[in-house]
Chains A and B, each alone.
Chain A
Amino acid sequence: MSQMNMIQAINSAHDIMMERDPSVVVLGQDVGFFGGVFRCTDGLLEKYGEHRVIDAPIAEGGIVATAIGMGVNGLRPVAEIQFADYIYPGFDQIVSELARLRYRSGGDFFSPVTIRTPCGGGIRGGQTHSQSPEGIFAHISGIVTVMPSNPYDAKGLLISAIESDDPVVFFEPKRIYNGPFDGDPEKPGVPWSSHPMGEVPDDHYQVPLGKAAMVEEGNELTIICYGTIVHVAQAAARTTGVSAEIIDVRTLYPLDIDTIRKSVEKTGRCLVAHEATRFCGYGAELVATVQQECFWHLEAPIERVAGWDTPYPHAFEWKYFPGQKRLAAGIRKVMETA
């Protein structure tokens, strides 16, 4: 066991997989010599060489496409897209090619690519370094979409992603790379060493894809969330004094419906929260699922807290970001009804 932040945990997952499986290769902008702009691939080039840790041209479509080709040729590529905001040039290759290859070839071809990309706001990144496009990917048939909320899960999920023969898009909420964030930007940063999920095994382990985590047990309300918002939701629930059960879905697709169903059947109330914009956001799917699965157990309408439907605004970051105040208001609203 070691104390790790998310960057170190992600780095460790790479290191372990590259050590265990010579077919694992890493590619992306600045991932090699520099070790990645967030340092997630730091030290890998020295250890595994330039033929396995490959600096790539600034062409996200080319990075995804060449990763697909390498995967077809028996390698197990882990591609980094430097910011999720820059993933769109690779979108066609992800949607039309990576996600569809196994299906369209009758199961004859597949490419086990993992695409990692830092996402989310809270870092003064404005509209080009703060986006949360995970819902777009969760909508695509043929892709596993993942977003961890802590170092332990980040390492275990990334190992599962790399070992999976299905394509995985792995979103890393960059605001919590260095420590959990409760949504209050005025408070001094907290390191992962103060959090139980910053305790990470040094060796190989998996956190299974498609399984949600019960972050906190409660009996009055279920909060379904993922990524940075998990920590905001915990803090917000404490301020309200409501006994909230907090579920971190971890894998957005395929979704662990059982865990959600059991919780909402118990609490009878549900709040869905994410950073991404609200309209057609991932939360809409969560709400629809809860409505379908748990309708007769619901005691109040399901509430949704999300980013406003604007681009991510630089100057208004903390009015945009769904912080404790908005989460708490959402919690109170669900609790007050009926």
Chain B
Amino acid sequence: MTQKPYLHIPRPSARPGETPDFSYLELSDAGTVDRPSIDEKAKNIEYLSHDLVRVLDDDNHAKGPWNPSLDKDTLLEALRYMVMTRTFDNRMQKVQRHGKISFYMQSLGEEAISIGQGLALEPGDMLFPSYRNQGLFLLRGTGLVNLMCQCLSNTGDMCKGRQMPVMYHDKENNIFSISGNLATQYPQAVGWAMGSAIKGEKHISVSWVGDGSTAEADFHYALTFAAVYQAPVILNVVNNQWAISSFQGFAGGERRPFAARGLGLGMPGIRVDGNDLLAIYSVTRWAAERARSGHGPTLIEHVTYRGGAHSTSDDPTRYRPKDEWAAFPLGDPMNRLVQHLVALDYWSDEDQSALEDETKTMVDDAWKEAVSFGTMSDPPFLSTHLMFEDVFKEIPDHMENQRTELLELIGETS
């Protein structure tokens, strides 16, 4: 090589040992972004894809046109589920460290997204989650024990031991099966929404991917099909700044926000403070009403920060500054909601402590119940029979033969 290479290799603003720097994030003040009508054409509301919709201001008050004016009960319900999500995550992270489950993924710092959006949607709306949306399951009533049993691959596991931890689903509550393959659920959600529109139904679908997964072809299929057919779908990009060790610039986030990805297709994008539950709720309602009334899809980018590791398999101190989350300008979503409730005089530090204790007890009790269905090391164990079921509706003969062969070999013929 005789000449100086000039290929641009994106670099994060800080690596371990360097000072966190979020100056690349363009922020708007709370309450300053206009809220258009739900039928506004995408070309007239492009500002929504680069401004940042925020409701909670620095003094913990809700303000501006996107303030959803939620009542006290709803706010307290939101907080309750955010605390529940975080407590659940804490516990599962710990049991993974103790070797009780093989793997785990926390949603630390991103809880407001699942809870805020979940509250803004209707029960009949179909959710196609990513692996960091556990709050949706808690909110829709999947139940702590069921989630834990999935992580334990035990006799209570909804997946019958076939998926690694956190790949939940809940058919009854309209939450689709999580795939370990990234972004594949995104165009499926669009197909579901197309089905809803074909049938003339008002149910919408909603899906989530991370910033990193926007680079997948499936992301682009989803946007194209959603725009072409004006499918009643909300497509969310959870921009938590990091895809394992790759910062969001490696998915093309350096020059334009992810929310702007749909503009070329005429799909409106909204960039929202992903740590502001009120703003999240509000933009989701806007997008849901838009979809439900036949005005098509919306892309929402949630600007947030992945407070923990990608999963229990990586150590973030190896690739980003230890104190980066503390320097994140949009704070911690749970604390921000708590402070808002305190400012409204709905809540106190004592109430918060009591809630955290209460949820911790619930999680403790749930864990005790979950392990009674077995763990990877303790019975009861899943029947080996299950291994060969559900590949097809009926087991083909040759697979039945394989099952018999295995059961005989391991002495489980009874």
| Partner-B contacts on A (CB < 8 A) | 25, 51-52, 56-57, 59, 61-62, 65-75, 89, 92-93, 96-97, 100-110, 141-142, 144, 164-166, 210, 254-255, 257
Contacts and interface: CB of A to CB of B under 8 A. Distances in A.
B191 A65 contact: yes
A102 B186 CA distance: 18
The interface centre, meaning the residue of A103, A104, A106 with most chain B CB atoms within 10 A of its CB, is A106
Interface of B: 126, 128, 157-160, 162-163, 167, 169, 171, 176-177, 179, 181, 184, 186-196, 198-199, 205, 217-218, 220-222, 224-225, 228, 389-393, 396-399
Nearest to A93: B184
6 contacts: A62-B221, A70-B194, A93-B218, A104-B163, A110-B393, A166-B392
B189 A69 contact: yes
Nearest to A142: B391
A102 B395 CA distance: 12
A269 B392 CA distance: 33
B196 to A, nearest CB: 6
Given A65-B184, A69-B205, A103 B391 contact: yes
B191 A67 contact: yes
Given A61-B221, A108-B177, A102 B184 contact: no
A109 B177 contact: yes
Nearest to A257: B398
B198 A25 contact: yes
Contacts of B205: 69
The interface centre, meaning the residue of B188, B193, B393 with most chain A CB atoms within 10 A of its CB, is B188
Given A61-B218, A65-B187, A73-B196, A92 B181 contact: yes
B126 A73 contact: yes
Contacts of B198: 25, 51-52, 70, 75
Contacts of A97: 179, 181, 184, 188
Contacts of B177: 101, 104-105, 108-109
A140 to B, nearest CB: 10
Nearest to A112: B393
Nearest to A143: B392
Given A57-B228, A165-B393, A108 B187 contact: no
A69 B187 contact: yes
Contacts of B160: 106-107
B122 to A, nearest CB: 15
A165 B390 CA distance: 11
A141 B392 CA distance: 9
Given A25-B198, A59-B221, A106-B157, 6 more contacts: A69-B191, A92-B181, A105-B177, A106-B160, A107-B389, A166-B393
A61 B194 CA distance: 16
B221 A65 contact: yes
A10 B228 CA distance: 28
B192 A69 contact: yes
Contacts of B188: 65-66, 68-69, 72, 93, 97
A30 to B, nearest CB: 15
Given A72-B188, A73-B195, A62 B224 contact: yes
Contacts of B187: 61-62, 65-66, 69, 93
Contact of B390 (A61, A73, A107, A164): A107
A37 B367 CA distance: 58
A62 B222 contact: yes
A293 to B, nearest CB: 11
A166 B397 CA distance: 16
Given A59-B224, A104-B163, A210-B396, A70 B192 contact: yes
The interface centre, meaning the residue of B128, B160, B187 with most chain A CB atoms within 10 A of its CB, is B187
B228 to A, nearest CB: 6
Given A59-B224, A69-B194, A69-B195, A142 B181 contact: no
Contacts of B195: 69-70, 72-75
A56 B190 CA distance: 13
Contacts of B221: 59, 61-62, 65-66
The interface centre, meaning the residue of B160, B191, B199 with most chain A CB atoms within 10 A of its CB, is B191
Nearest to B180: A96
A302 to B, nearest CB: 19
A254 B192 contact: no
A61 B217 CA distance: 8
B192 A106 contact: no
Given A62-B187, A104-B177, A254 B224 contact: no
Nearest to B231: A66
B176 A57 contact: no
A98 to B, nearest CB: 10
A44 to B, nearest CB: 15
Contacts of B189: 69
A62 B225 contact: yes
Contacts of A255: 398
A100 B184 CA distance: 12
The interface centre, meaning the residue of A25, A59, A71, A102 with most chain B CB atoms within 10 A of its CB, is A59
Contact of A66 (B176, B179, B225): B225
Contacts of A257: 397-398
B233 to A, nearest CB: 9
Contacts of B393: 102, 110, 164-166
A248 B225 CA distance: 39
A52 B187 CA distance: 19
A52 B198 CA distance: 8
Q: Pick the 9 closest A-B CB pairs, nearest first.
A: A69-B191, A66-B191, A62-B221, A73-B195, A65-B187, A254-B396, A69-B192, A69-B188, A105-B177
B51 to A, nearest CB: 30
Given A52-B198, A66-B190, A102-B390, A59 B225 contact: yes
Contacts of A100: 179
A62 B177 CA distance: 18
The interface centre, meaning the residue of B205, B224, B391 with most chain A CB atoms within 10 A of its CB, is B391
A61 B185 CA distance: 12
A68 B191 contact: yes
A84 to B, nearest CB: 19
A285 B222 CA distance: 37
Contacts of B176: 72, 109
A142 B397 contact: no
B374 to A, nearest CB: 15
Nearest to A89: B217
A110 to B, nearest CB: 7
B124 to A, nearest CB: 11
A146 to B, nearest CB: 14
Contact of B179 (A104, A142, A164): A104
